[in-house]
């Protein structure tokens, strides 16, 4: 297809920007206008509605005379007492990982030796001269509380655990308890 001179002139006339009444034309005005040329930092994100304002919204929660809400108080803070003279028992935190032959030989899984790849957390607490009937045990998702007449352990756990399921074994010979929880 060959273009004649009249066709090229007609095409140039179509692509020519409209002339304005102002004779002072900047170089910016000669550039083609696009929707992105007008975009600034205020146009990023969802558009604001006319009725919205930047004033802080009032809480719709019921007003109480409490100083802190339950979300603001750290878990396990109610168990810590600075004035309790009982010593802390010895304890060990161990991690268990389900390793299969694929993990050992083929290394197809994404497991590594880090604690984030472990499935279970095992806490062993040594409680000498203690009977199981004298011990109280409370496990939360991030806090473990073990109390006996002679010892007290308030332990913030390094990983959140499933506090609803798990098991605990009392070993009378070793005078201790072993707790296993899913991470």
Domain extent, residue 135, equals: 94-182
Q: Please report whether residue 41 resides in a domain.
A: no
pLDDT given for residue 97 in this prediction: 81
- What is the arithmetic mean of pLDDT over 102-125? 77
Number of structural domains in the chain? 1
Which stretch of 69-73, 147-151, 161-165, 178-182 has the lowest confidence by average pLDDT?
A: 69-73
Beta bridge partners of 154: 145
Q: Does the pLDDT of residue 177 top 60, yes or no?
A: yes
171: CATH: 2.60.40.790
Q: Does the pLDDT of residue 131 top 80, yes or no?
A: yes
Structure tokens at 69: 């809400």
Q: What is the pLDDT of residues 25-84, one digit of tens each?
A: 555 555 555 555 667 777 777 777 766 555 555 555 567 777 877 777 666 555 556 677
Residue 124 pLDDT class (50, 70, 90 cuts):
very high
Q: Please report whether residue 46 resides in a domain.
A: no
Q: Please report whether residue 122 resides in a domain.
A: yes
Q: Please report whether residue 6 resides in a domain.
A: no
CB 121, CB 180: distance < 8 Å: yes
Q: Please report whether residue 147 resides in a domain.
A: yes
pLDDT given for residue 35 in this prediction: 58
**What is the percent of the chain with per-residue pLDDT over 90, rounded to a whole number?**
2
> In the chain, which ranges are E strands?
91-96, 120-126, 136-139, 143-147, 152-156, 167-171, 176-182
Q: Please report whether residue 165 resides in a domain.
A: yes
Q: Please report whether residue 148 resides in a domain.
A: yes
Q: Nearest CA to 59 among 69, 74, 73? A: 69
Question: Model's pTM, two decimal places?
Answer: 0.52
Q: Please report whether residue 119 resides in a domain.
A: yes
- What is the arithmetic mean of pLDDT over 129-149? 86
List, edge to edge, every strand of the sheet that includes 143-147: 136-139, 143-147, 152-156
């Amino acid at each position: 297809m060959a273009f004649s001179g009249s066709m090229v002139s007609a095409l140039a006339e179509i692509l020519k920007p409209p002339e304005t009444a102002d004779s002072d034309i900047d170089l910016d005005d000669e550039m083609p206008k696009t929707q992105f040329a007008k975009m600034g930092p205020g146009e990023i994100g969802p558009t604001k509605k006319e009725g919205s304002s930047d004033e802080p919204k009032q809480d719709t929660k019921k007003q109480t005379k409490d100083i802190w809400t339950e979300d603001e108080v750290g878990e396990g803070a109610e168990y810590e007492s600075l004035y309790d003279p009982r010593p802390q028992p010895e304890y060990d935190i161990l991690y268990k990982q389900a390793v299969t032959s694929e993990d050992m030989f083929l290394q197809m899984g994404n497991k590594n030796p880090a604690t984030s790849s472990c499935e279970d957390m095992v806490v062993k607490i040594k409680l000498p001269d203690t009977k199981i009937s004298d011990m109280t045990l409370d496990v939360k998702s991030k806090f473990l509380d073990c109390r006996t007449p002679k010892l007290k352990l308030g332990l913030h756990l390094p990983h959140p655990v499933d506090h609803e399921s798990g098991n605990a074994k009392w070993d009378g010979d070793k005078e201790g308890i072993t707790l296993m929880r899913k991470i």
